[in-house]
Amino acid sequence: MWNYKTPGVPDEMFIQGDKVPGPTKEEIRVITISKSRLREGAFVVEVGCGTGGLTVEAAFQVGPKGNVYAVDEDPAAVKLTKDNVEKFGLQKTVRVIQGASPEVLSSLTAADAFIIGGSHSLVETIRIAHEKLKTNGRIVVNAILLETATTALEEIKKLGFKEVDVVEVFVAKGKAVKSGTMMLARNPITIISGTKE
């Protein structure tokens, strides 16, 4: 058994739900976690946790002294994230909250990183992240919509984040078929990150 402290939980290890998207695929998860620059003991806020793939990875990164606060508006996502947190034995590290991001985030104290996978109020969520992040804290936004990428980038630049980084990642995954390996494309993701000054 490999230990789970390294990012890169295989996709199939997560419990999945019919009505909840995800988990974020391994390749995107590890890039997202890498961009978050998490250290042991960090406090991470994740908005739009979905299946909980990034939640679990972040929890492994911050370790038992760290904390992950995962939020989703969808009760089914909250349930599924909780199931995955439990499967990986991370209940002490992770707290999963159901609610709209502006409301549930307002009470938070200083965070080391915000990972934003999706939100109905993206700009407001980025603003709250900026407000709640410690100096040198990291924001990472995963965008699957064309508009989300530019909106997030614009807001992140406007708020004065430094080391702003944008990568678009296109992954095709091989599927063994009778005559060879068919490359099945996954939707491209744009990952925008920055450091609070």
Q: What is the C-alpha to C-alpha distance for residues 27 and 109, in angstroms, rounded to an integer? A: 30
State the nearest-atom distance from the C-beta of 40 to its own copies, in Å: 6
The window from 15-23, 83-91, 103-111, 184-192 that contacts its own copies (CB under 8 A) reads 184-192
By CB under 8 A, tell whether 162 contacts its own copies.
no
Task: Give the nearer residue to its own copies in terms of CB position, either 71 or 82.
Answer: 71
State the nearest-atom distance from the C-beta of 62 to its own copies, in Å: 9
By CB under 8 A, tell whether 135 contacts its own copies.
no
The window from 48-56, 82-90, 96-104, 148-156 that contacts its own copies (CB under 8 A) reads 148-156
β-strand partners of 115: 46, 140
Among 17, 24, 31, 115, binds its own copies (CB under 8 A): 31
Instruction: Note whether 78 and 19 are within 8 A (CB).
Output: no
User: Considering all CA atoms of the chain, what is the largest pairwise distance in Å, rounded to the nearest integer?
Assistant: 56
* Best CA proximity match to 36, nearest among 191, 160, 197: 191
Task: Give the nearer residue to its own copies in terms of CB position, either 68 or 82.
Answer: 68
Q: Is the peptide bond before 21 cis (omega within 30 degrees of 0)?
A: no
* Best CA proximity match to 117, nearest among 84, 150, 139, 90: 139
By CB under 8 A, tell whether 1 contacts its own copies.
yes
Instruction: Note whether 42 and 112 are within 8 A (CB).
Output: yes
> Side chain identity at 181, as an amino acid letter?
T
**Which positions lie near its own copies, rule CB under 8 A?**
1-3, 5-8, 26-27, 30-31, 33-35, 37-40, 61, 120, 144-150, 153-154, 164-174, 176-177, 179-188, 190
